[in-house]
Structure 1
Amino acid sequence: MAIGNFVKRIQDVMRNDSGVNGDAQRIEQIVWILFLKIYDAKEEAWELYHDHYTSIIPAGLKWRDWAVDRKDGEALTGDALLDFVNNTLFPTLKNLEIDEETPMSQVIVRYAFEDANNYQKDGVLLRQVVNVIDEIDFTEYKERHEFGTIYESFLKDLQSAGNAGEFYTPRAVTDFMVKVVKPVLGEKIGDFACGTGGFLTSALQALERQVENSLENREIYNKSVYGIEKKALPHMLCVTNMLIHDIDDPNILHGNALEMDYKDMRKMEPFDVILMNPPYGGSEKDSVKSNFPTELRSSETADLFMNVIMYRLKKNGRCAVIIPDGFLFGTDNAKFNIKKKLFGEFNLHTVVRMPHSVFAPYTSIRTNILFFDNTEPTKETWFYRMDMPEGYKNFSKTRPMKLEHFGAALAWWDNREEIEVDGFPKAKCYTTSEIIERSYNIDLCGFPHEEEVILEPMDLIQVYQEKRASLNDEIDHVLEQITSMLGVN
């Protein structure tokens, strides 16, 4: 099946339905239908291999019971289908009884429908959408795995996602980070703002090659990844994505990883590998900030996620996290203390400066990848600047970043040396003492010759606010030193 044609066929049908308004609702509608189709295919396999398997979905509500059109004139359609979906299917799945003993493979059904909605108002058009989705054969390995690409189509269509600092992370970036971190089968891999599961699927592809034909390894693989996602739509996408990647028991929670006291985080099982692109540009309510020590509280969501990572990374564990430029140059009280903790307790060995427009069209804010491990305090940090590939002025939807663009960075990674271009450092190593002298401003190996990027208004406001806070803090720090030298209170 041509995946692009599949998406277009569904979109064409939904555009004729007055109940579906825009890409966001269209995607959410596709996703809950798709989830039930995939879950039913999984249940057929579980029933085959487990003699006493009992479904959490009541009889009559499984995909095979109501969605499959056997061309005998008995398939639900029109008002009868709408009445079934709105008044039986959704209320039942939203209120499934679960307890501590309910396996995650069944809990996810209720999680998936907690905030889901049926937007279609035309039952005939809904039947057409269901029939198109039912054409996919998820028992065929090749077709099932090819289907994973549909998630990229969804997220690229969801232009509004970037408004809250949440957007699709290009596959090239997730694959590069996994390639460098090198997850090993048996390690526990986490993402506390997992979105649709891009990092987790990149990690699973690396682990899949280590499974071979071992049933024991397959069981380990099935328990390798863990995710938390705050929003309903990406959560359902992630759960579905895990099922497609043969994770039969997806440990993907629907919730906010920041809504837990840091003392409780310390008591939880830590992670061997953390891979993340935390949302940034947003802010959390005061009750969430109060979950962290006073000196580490920040109004920036990405800063708070850095705290979560540091509390939940296992001893000798490894992390790769995408952070905006504001974290690098920021020296306000919270950012200063977060970076002080990072350098003082963890080994921040590498910072990769990424070129602009990596996340186009969602945002033009520059981003960076921090690589660190929980082995020892930082002694030195390498900074490496990735320049825009030759022939590219900007990345875009039609010309996105590719893994091959990381080729030079990968070659440098294992053979590190300082690089200078036109008198400016492209790769350079700095000692921790040099960084402390800069008040933990780690805006190093930047982009000196590149044309200034014209940011979107909200992005521009965010950058200026962060720079103002940083400058104010630097001024206060200098004044404090001067008054101290003069003996003035």
Structure 2
Amino acid sequence: MLQNNPELKGKIDLLWNKFWSGGISNPLTAIEQITYLLFMKRLDELDLKHQSDSEWTGETYASKFEGSWIPPEYRARQDARDNDANWARKLDDEKRYAIDKRSLRWSEFKRMQAEEMLLHVQSKVFPFLKDLNGAESNFSHHMKNAVFIIPKPALLVEAVKTIDEIFEVMEKDSQEKGQAFQDIQGDVYEFLLSEIATAGKNGQFRTPRHIIKLMAELVQPQLGHKIADPACGSGGFLLGAYQYIVTQLAIKAGSTNLTPDEDGFVRTSVAAALTEKAQAILASSLWGYDIDSTMVRLGLMNLMMHGIDEPHIDYKDTLSKSYIEEAEYDIVMANPPFTGSIDKGDINENLQLATTKTELLFVENIYRLLKKGGTACVIVPQGVLFSTGGAFKILRQLLIERCDLKAVITLPSGVFKPYAGVSTAILLFTKVWASKEKVTKPATEYVWFYDMAADGYSLDDKRAKQEGFGDLQDIITKYHARNAETDTDRASKYFIVSRAELEAESYDLSMSRYKQDVPQEVHYDEPSAILDRLIRAEVGDLNGADLAKMESGIVRELLELKGMVG
């Protein structure tokens, strides 16, 4: 969407520049602060809309900005009744420190003078935001250590002004193009996340959203599936699964106003048409974990900006001994860290691979997290496919014998630029044998390979959108129509390989091991014609050539060589 709206993209770039020039140069810090402001703005707008709708429908709506708000530290607790003096002081504090919620609205505080606005947002609005879902909520728990660090009144004023302008363009775009406002808002937030230049350290790369959409189309999550990402970052895979499910439900309900995006995918985030029961099921389906507290907060807010009120994203190291879940999930979608290693003493005892390489441990852990019959779609570095180390071989054998390894899709090395040029692949597998079960028959019969050459974007650092969809839509079509009897052309970009052949090759999963190279006939000019071109490059037109040049060393030798070949 943003590629087709230079006005909106320009205003977002302007917002970034204001933060940079205002002293917040770390992109991760900047996006946290921008996110808080976007939340304040959207919270006010949604509340006003709900109030307006309730007046038309006659339904009761309790505004988030009615009454007073008491900061948690000044609330009287029931257990303080045992101490009369303390109870009385708390009640007095409640009255003294109560804040009129109306003053916490974006539409109210944006009219304040610069210094007053900064103090008001720092000391009242932001604490209210952190307490939004109640002290016991997952959101409030992870927001506990969040800080509002916009340092200058002028920067806050400029940021508020620019965000108002961004929302105006979004509203205009929604009305003129018929796209849901919530989807546009989600696109804007996704664009902001894409600007995190610090991504890529410790092997963590932001996964392009069209690759996530591709993977969702491959696994096809359904309402009621329990879905996880054990290294979720900003929550892109959870959002991808959510959007896929909501879109399929909208299509089944007869929605006809959904159009393909620039990558050929049909998606919406708007779940308003779902029943209350369906919304509750969907909200309880998504589970994410990450070891970076900042990314946990960004993941929570990313999903909340897309309409998921209380996401299940938590701070947790899913490879450590403290994480004991097993056989819990129907779907796992992930792009776990590629590089680095974990402290051997902290690795979960249930992980059997004798390695500290996280790219191997995460894949084994994902296998453990799946229920029997559950499916995973995971991005791995291509070294996992063919490296000869013992742990690499054992993992590949596990995927082939204990799982139905359905597909290996190699991705071009530019997919993760500008963060990294690493070559990657998608593994798609379904768990057949539980970790403690004895394998009586290997689960995989054959593996479908596809060599993606293009993803619809340039493969340089700019990653500019190209015409068409690359191989994205072809992969989806060919995968769901794969056939062991017909997908046999080893010179094609996709084909089937049997388990027996994979076993004979020590479970090597690199496509090049099995692909048949077709020699192409190349036609060359006659030697005399090539020599003529070389001579012309030195002296120009042979008929009017300068005699001095003709007698020069290199030209003389070329002429002698021409005379020898005829």
* Larger RCO (CA within 8 A; separation ≥ 6): 1
**SS at 1:145 equivalent:** helix
Q: How does 1:55-134 map to 2 (within 5 A)?
A: 65-66=103-104, 68-70=106-108, 75=112, 77-78=114-115, 80-83=116-119, 102=136, 106-114=137-145, 116-133=146-163
Q: Identify the residue that residue 7 of structure 1 maps to in structure 2.
A: 12
Say whether the 8 Å CA contact 2:455–2:472 is kept in structure 1: no
Say whether the 8 Å CA contact 2:133–2:140 is kept in structure 1: no
Distance 1:314 1:378 in 2: 17
Distance 2:124 2:458 in 1: 53
**SS at 1:445 equivalent:** helix
Q: Give the letter for the 1:271 counterpart.
A: Y
**SS at 2:367 equivalent:** helix
Say whether the 8 Å CA contact 2:406–2:446 is kept in structure 1: yes
Say whether the 8 Å CA contact 1:36–1:63 is kept in structure 2: no
Q: Does 1:245 align with 2:311?
A: no
* Consecutive unaligned residues in structure 1, runs of 5 or more: 450-489
Q: Does 1:368 align with 2:425?
A: yes
Encode CA deviations 1:382-435: one digit per residue, 9 max, x unaligned: 2221224799665742237975532332232214343547xx564333333433
Q: Identify the residue that residue 432 of structure 1 maps to in structure 2.
A: 499
Say whether the 8 Å CA contact 2:448–2:482 is kept in structure 1: no
Superposed displacement of residue 343, structure 1:
2.1
Distance 1:67 1:391 in 2: 41
Superposed displacement of residue 170, structure 1:
1.4
**Residues 86 and 392 (structure 1 numbering): CA distance in 2 closer, same or farther, change over 3 Å?**
closer
Q: How does 1:19-418 map to 2 (within 5 A)?
A: 20-38=24-42, 65-66=103-104, 68-70=106-108, 75=112, 77-78=114-115, 80-83=116-119, 102=136, 106-114=137-145, 116-133=146-163, 136=167, 142-209=180-247, 210=249, 212=253, 213=273, 214-261=275-322, 264-266=324-326, 270-289=328-347, 291-293=348-350, 295-375=352-432, 377-388=443-454, 394=460, 396-399=462-465, 403-413=469-479, 414-416=481-483, 417-418=486-487
Distance 1:375 1:72 in 2: 57
**Residues 398 and 96 (structure 1 numbering): CA distance in 2 closer, same or farther, change over 3 Å?**
closer
**Residues 239 and 396 (structure 1 numbering): CA distance in 2 closer, same or farther, change over 3 Å?**
same
Distance 2:354 2:71 in 1: 43
**Residues 67 and 42 (structure 1 numbering): CA distance in 2 closer, same or farther, change over 3 Å?**
closer
Percent identity between matched residues is 25
**Residues 163 and 76 (structure 1 numbering): CA distance in 2 closer, same or farther, change over 3 Å?**
same
Structure 2 length-normalised TM: 0.66
Distance 2:316 2:289 in 1: 6
**SS at 2:231 equivalent:** coil
**SS at 1:15 equivalent:** helix
Distance 1:191 1:3 in 2: 31
Encode CA deviations 1:454-479: one digit per residue, 9 max, x unaligned: xxxxxxxxxxxxxxxxxxxxxxxxxx
Mean alpha-carbon deviation: is it higher for 37-46 or for 170-179? 37-46
Distance 2:100 2:401 in 1: 53
Distance 1:300 1:40 in 2: 46
* Consecutive unaligned residues in structure 2, runs of 5 or more: 55-59, 73-96, 254-272, 434-442, 518-566
Larger radius of gyration: 2
Q: How many residues align?
A: 434
Q: Give the letter for the 2:314 counterpart.
A: L
**SS at 2:368 equivalent:** helix
Distance 1:67 1:98 in 2: 18
Distance 2:478 2:235 in 1: 28
Cα RMSD over matched residues? 3.8
**SS at 2:225 equivalent:** coil
Say whether the 8 Å CA contact 1:427–1:445 is kept in structure 2: no
Superposed displacement of residue 326, structure 1:
1.4
**SS at 2:447 equivalent:** strand
